[in-house]
Structure formats: C-alpha cells, structure tokens
Amino acid sequence: MGGPVLFGVRHLSPAAAFHLRQALDRAKPALVLVEGPSDLNDQLKWLCHSETRFPAAILAYTQTPPVRTILYPFSIYSPEIQAILWANAHDVEFRFMDLPSSVFLALAPDVSPSQPEEQDPSSPAQTTEMVYHRLETLTGEDHDTFWERNFEQLENMESYQAACNTFGRQLREASMDNPRRTAETLVRESYMKRVIQQAVDAGTPPERIFCVCGAFHVAGLEQNQPMTDGEAAALPHTDTHATLMPYSYYRLSSRSGYGAGNKAPAYFELLWEALCQGQPANAPYLYLTRLAAAHRKAGNLVSSAQVIEAARLAQTLAGLRGSRRPVLTDLRDGAITAMGHGNFSELALAAADTEIGTTIGFLPEGVSRTSVQEDFYRQLKELRLEKYRTVELQRLDLDLREKLNVQSQQAALADLRRSFFLHRLRVLGVHFASLLPSRQEGANWGEYWELRWTPETEIEIVESALLGDTIEGAAAFALREQAEQSGSIAQAAAIFQDAFLCGMPTAARHALTLLQSLSVDAALLSDLAETASRLSLVVRYGDLRRFDPQPVIPLIQQLYLRACLILEDACICDAKAAPAVTAAMNQLNALPLEHDFLDDGRWRTLLREISDRDDLNTRCSGFAMAILLERGEVEEPLLSREVARRLSPGIPADLGAGWFEGLAGKNRYALIARLSLWRQLDSYLSSLDDSSFRRALVFLHRAFADFSPNEKNDIAENLGEIWDVHPQQAAEALMQETTETERAVLDSLSDFDFDDI
C-alpha cells in the first residue's frame, strides 16, 4: 500500500498547474489536500463559484488592534487553484492542510498592518532570497527567467515532477541555515502530515489522497512525523476573521519572487492559455503580436515584418541561452531590437500592458465579507461608482449643487452623496480616491477626484471593520478618536472640517466643542489663522452641503479678533519665521472679504500700521503693503515714497530686498505694470557695493523664484525699456538658467548668517 501522492509545485507556475491537472486525471483521488490555511476552508466554495474571476486572495486578519493581516493570493494559473477547481468539478472532497491562519498571525506579531504579509503556499516566506541571489550569480539570469527556461518548457508530466521535486529538495538544503524559519518550516510540515494522517484515520486510503504542496516541502512530508495532539494544543492562536477579496495582476507583479508573485502575470496567463490549447509553441508569437498591438494602440507604428524579425531574433537568443523556445527575456530583447529601435523606453508602456496587464479579479455577491465591506460595495453600486473600481486612474468631477430637473431627492443630490462617501473613505485612510485642487475661482460647487482601486484598498476597508459596522460609523469613530488626540486648535479645526466634508453633523459638533475649549489657550498666530480659515470654509459652503454654519460664526469672530491683536507682535520675527507670518496674514486677509460679520476696518488699519513700521520684519511690512495695494488702498505717490524709503542706500541691503520680497508676494501684475517701481529697484541695485549686493541677492532671488515665465517676460519688457535694450535681450538674460557655479554661490549665500557680521 503506497502513501499519499505528493505533487510539488511552484506557486504561480502555469506548467505546474497544467501538469498537476494531468496528474489528478491519472490518480483519480478521493481527497485533494492543498497547502493553505486549514481554518479557511469555508472560503473555498467561493473560489469555485462560476462567477468568480481570478486573481483573488484570501485575507485573514486579527480582530484586535493593531490589525495584522496575512494574504493568500491566487491567479487562474495557480496550481493550488487548479487543484481546487479540478476537485470541485469531479465531486472530490478537497480542503486546505497547512497551519491555521490564526497560528500564522500569532507567530508573526511583527507583520505590519499597512504591509500585509503575503503567505506563499509553496515555500517558506523570505528564506530563499540569498539562495536565489546565488543562483542568479551562477546563471546570469534572474530566478523567474531561470525557472521559465528550465521548468516551464518541460512538456512531460513525470519529467516536470521529478525536476521540480529535485529543485525543491536542493533549495531546502541550501536554505536551512536560518534557525527560526527552519523551525517554522518543520512545524508547518508536521501539521500538514497530521492532517494527512487524520484523513487516513477517518477511512481514506493513503494512496487515494493527493497532496498539492510547494516542492520545497515534499522532502519534509516524506520524512517528518505527524504533529501529536499535545503539540497541536500547544500552538499559539489569535482571534482572526477571514474574507475573500479581488486581487490584481499589478499587485502580483509587485510581489515578484518564488511563490510571492511573478513579474509578468499577464504573460504567465498567456503561457497557461497556450498550454491549455495544446499549443505551447505559440506563446512567443502571441506575446509579440499582443505587444505590437499595444504599441500601436499607444500611437506607434509597428510593421508585421518587425514582429517577424523580433520572433526570429528571440528564437536565436533562446538557442544561444540554452532553451528550446524563447522565454520572456528573449522575447523582450528581440522586441527591443526589432520594434523599439534598441530602446526599451519606446516599448515600456506596451510591455507593461502585455506583461503585467490591468486584470482585476471579481467575486460574486454573497461572498462572506465584513459589514464594512458589504456597506462599501453597496454604496459603490448605489452611487454608481462601480466603473471606477479598476487599476486604471480615472477622473471624477462632481457638481455639488442640487439638480432641479430630476424627480427624486436622491438623484438631485447624487454628487453631494458621492462627495460625502469619498471624504469618509479619505478619513478612514482608504486610498480609493484622492481629492484634487479646485479648478474654480470664487465658486464652491465643484469637486475633483482621481479614483483607482487596488488590493490595498480592500485591505484598508477590512481594517476599518474595527472602527464600526458601516463606512459612516467607522468614519465617525475615526474622527472622534482623532479629536480626542488633538492638542491644538489647528488639529481640531482640521477634524471639524473633515466632519463637515463628510456630511456628519454629529461628529462636527463634537469637534467644534473641543475646538472651542482649545481656542481659549491658543496663542500661535499660524494656528489662529489656519483655524479661522477652515471654519470660514464651513460658513461659505454650509448651505451647499446641507450644514447649519451659525454655531461657527462666533468662534470665527473670536479667532479673527485675537489674531488681529497679536499680529503686530508676531511681525517682530527673524527671516525664518517670516514666511509663516505672511501666510497667516494672507489667510486673515481673506476672512473679512468673505464675511461681512467681521470688522474689515480694523484689518485695514492694522495693515497700514504694519506697513509703516520700521521695527518689524521687513518682509512682513512689504507683504502688508502688497495686500493694501491689492485692495486699492495705496495711491501711486504713497507707493513711490515707500519704495524710495525702503530701497535706499541708507537701508541695509538685506532689509530692503526683504521688503521687496514681501511686496512681490501678492498682486504681481499690479507691480509689473508700474514702470517707476522697476526704475527705482534698478537704481537701488546699481548703487550697492559688492558686499551689499550679495546680501540683497539672497532675498531677490527668492522673491523672483516663483514668478511665472509670462511674468518674467513682462518684467523683461520693463527692464528693456529701462536699460534701453531690446526686450528680447532682457528676456534672454532674465530667463537664462543659472549655472552650477552660480547655484553654488547662491546656496552658500542662503546659508550665510548675515546677522553675525
């Protein structure tokens, strides 16, 4: 009486999957055991569902924070999946036989929640990297290429199994120098042997049991003893949940290596299709024609002759490198030479499409999910966002205004509801959608997003299950938790704004209460201005988002008044602090312009005082003048006198140039239009000695760094008139890129502390 059939495989190997099905047809087993977490057998029925489309993954995760996760990804050409599908189609019992996921997660407490471990069902994770490095050094090829050249092209099942088992045994011997991983391997194999023994004890003849495992484990399952009851009882466990999730070929490609993935999943699926069609020799031609089609789709010309030449060159390279048929490396080299004019960059996009692809799996309705997942997919369908669930980045423009030409209230506010949903995902850290800057001036009804689904999105949704049963509930918990941890009014204001954008008034009221208590002790100008600016947004957009802004108005008035009272003192600062002060001034300036309940007269008076004073940071004084100029509060004679006063030989160069830097911080076209100002600046710079000019240069270089090319061209016209040269000559001098030597000088001046002179 023989023992169970031990069929060694490589995870994500088309040849392994193909030969495995042949072996199953021949063996006709009564039980199929597959290397995988034995506590997740209830997920297997969904992997066999007629509507399931691969790639897909089983995700197991802990029920207590910090959430730890472990992933078991499968593609259509995974040997494990083909074994499961074969058993299901032939009404043969099948189940997983490896350690439970609850044990794996208990044994690996260091697994990062944001970077879940991908458990490879065919080899112990991360133990073979050095072995592969040695292999790559010996062969001169990466191990994916080595495997494809030496194993994927074996067409005889017995030859493949013998070669795979031999490779697994040698790999095992070469990687047993890691005591921790070796111990884990032995525990896993002992447990798998226990599951096999339990099946035999239950009445299944050993020879009717078919075991699918990594070739790495075949020797261990042949030699090791089954785990005893006492040893099994001593295994550590942690409470876990599990769910199935769609996966992507992009994710598989990013987890390259033996078992954890392969670099070209779309190409490997092509190999699988060719094997299933009984035409493995056609795979190279399928690859090259698909590559050519993708290259043409991108707008490039590729002739049939180039494709034929690439195929011939790849075949020649394969012969030189020791294989009967070209592998991916040979095909790439042939394509680069014949179709890419020797440059891979020309074929990069087409290669990504042909080798990696954009395939995302699909799971049918009813798959066991967490309540948060169910809510996510329900809302995705209800809000008609399902088409954005792809790996391709897509734009979504929202108009938050109520649509009056529709019948239902839900349809009238459809985009607003989409906005609430996407903001709630953002608060939860679910990276499905990214908010883009507004493209509007003075309008508040447009929102612009970029959406892309990745497997990480699903993981992040699962991790949100600890916060609540729905997306809204989890977001509310997250906001409350963030509010309780906030230590400044700026942080509390950001949370309040998030609650407002999420359409969650209860969470907003809680954050507002906290904000009011923190505002009593707030002293930093930047915090006051930032908070008032965020609250201003709520007042301006409140009606649009069905939010009552009245409770916010008194707090804005209080913050605005306090900021006005401390602004002058804040302007007594050094050059490093000045940018933060001017940014706060800019935020405060917008408030009375937006809201008539704020005292604009007080603000204008304050700006004039800051602009006039000589004992403040000159950049702040210059910026105050810029605001007044933008508001139409500065007459031409006043500006001329102030420029003459600030940019005079009696004023230290760094102070004068710092003032001009502040003046240039706003309303640049108003400055550019004043030719007299540029005459005064030119005269001032001409009067400086070398030392003073260097001091001024730092500030002026910084002031002009953010000017647009059009603005610089307009300045060049002014300088051309002043210098009596053609504007084009002035523009060339102004727009010329600084040399490395000049940049080095500027950097040294920027780092120099003139105050110590």
Same domain for 212 and 317, yes or no, is no
Same domain for 326 and 202, yes or no, is no
Looking at the domain assignment, is residue 572 inside a domain? no
Among candidate residues 216, 240, 262, the one where a domain is terminated = 262
Task: Give percent of the chain with pLDDT exceeding 70.
Answer: 84
At residue 419, the pLDDT reads 94
* E runs forming strands in 364-407: 394-399
Secondary structure (H, E, C), 126-178: CCCHHHHHHHHHHHCCCHHHHHHHHHHCCCCHHHHHHHHHHHHHHHHHHCCCC
Q: Which of 320-334, 507-521, 690-704 has the highest mean predicted lDDT (pLDDT)?
A: 320-334
**Per-residue pLDDT tens over the stretch 648-690:** 777 777 787 788 888 888 877 667 666 667 677 777 667 767 7
Same domain for 285 and 255, yes or no, is no
Same domain for 121 and 26, yes or no, is yes
At residue 361, the pLDDT reads 87
Same domain for 278 and 335, yes or no, is yes
Q: Does 558 score more than 70 pLDDT?
A: yes
C-alpha 571/C-alpha 659 separation (Å) is 13
Same domain for 18 and 64, yes or no, is yes
Q: Does 752 score more than 50 pLDDT?
A: no
Report residue 452 as tokens: 């892309």
Which is more confidently placed, 684 or 374? 374
Please give the tally of structural domains in the chain. 3
At residue 466, the pLDDT reads 74
At residue 113, the pLDDT reads 34
Secondary structure (H, E, C), 193-257: HHHHHHHHHCCCCHHHEEEEEEHHHHHHHHHCCCCCHHHHHCCCCCCEEEEEEECEHHHHHHCCE
pLDDT averaged over every residue in the chain: 85
Looking at the domain assignment, is residue 421 inside a domain? yes
Q: Does 745 score more than 70 pLDDT?
A: no
**Per-residue pLDDT tens over the stretch 212-253:** 999 999 999 999 999 999 999 999 999 988 888 888 888 888
Looking at the domain assignment, is residue 487 inside a domain? no
Among candidate residues 227, 262, 297, the one where a domain is terminated = 262
At residue 538, the pLDDT reads 86
Looking at the domain assignment, is residue 686 inside a domain? no
Confidence of residue 703 (pLDDT cuts 50, 70, 90): low
Q: How far, in Å, are 415, 420, 433, 506, 530 from residue 447 at the CA level?
A: 9, 11, 12, 23, 21
Q: Does 44 score more than 50 pLDDT?
A: yes
Q: What residue numbers bound the domain in which 283 lies?
A: 266-356
Residues 571-590 have a mean pLDDT of: 93
Confidence of residue 181 (pLDDT cuts 50, 70, 90): confident
Which is more confidently placed, 68 or 752? 68
At residue 650, the pLDDT reads 73
Looking at the domain assignment, is residue 428 inside a domain? yes
Same domain for 202 and 279, yes or no, is no
Same domain for 47 and 191, yes or no, is yes
Q: How far, in Å, are 99, 112, 259, 458, 731 from residue 62 at the CA level?
A: 16, 12, 24, 15, 64
Confidence of residue 617 (pLDDT cuts 50, 70, 90): very high
Confidence of residue 706 (pLDDT cuts 50, 70, 90): low
Q: How far, in Å, are 632, 664, 705, 712 from residue 626 at the CA level?
A: 10, 7, 17, 18
Best CA proximity match to 373, nearest among 365, 104, 477? 365
**Per-residue pLDDT tens over the stretch 454-492:** 878 887 888 787 788 899 999 999 999 998 888 888 889
**Per-residue pLDDT tens over the stretch 415-447:** 999 999 999 999 999 999 999 987 665 556 789
Same domain for 174 and 271, yes or no, is no
**Per-residue pLDDT tens over the stretch 45-56:** 999 999 999 999
Lowest mean pLDDT among 308-322, 358-372, 741-755: 741-755
Looking at the domain assignment, is residue 637 inside a domain? no
Same domain for 258 and 270, yes or no, is no
At residue 605, the pLDDT reads 95
Residues 614-640 have a mean pLDDT of: 89
Task: Give percent of the chain with pLDDT exceeding 90.
Answer: 52
Q: What angle do CA 609, 611, 615 make, to 5 degrees?
A: 85
Same domain for 153 and 135, yes or no, is yes
Looking at the domain assignment, is residue 749 inside a domain? no
Confidence of residue 728 (pLDDT cuts 50, 70, 90): low
Same domain for 141 and 276, yes or no, is no
Looking at the domain assignment, is residue 578 inside a domain? no
Q: Does 589 score more than 90 pLDDT?
A: yes
Q: Does 128 score more than 60 pLDDT?
A: no
C-alpha 143/C-alpha 162 separation (Å) is 19
Strands 209-214, 5-9: pairing is parallel
Confidence of residue 267 (pLDDT cuts 50, 70, 90): very high
Confidence of residue 738 (pLDDT cuts 50, 70, 90): low
At residue 625, the pLDDT reads 92
Among candidate residues 262, 281, 314, the one where a domain is terminated = 262
**The residue to which tokens 């991108």 are assigned:** 298
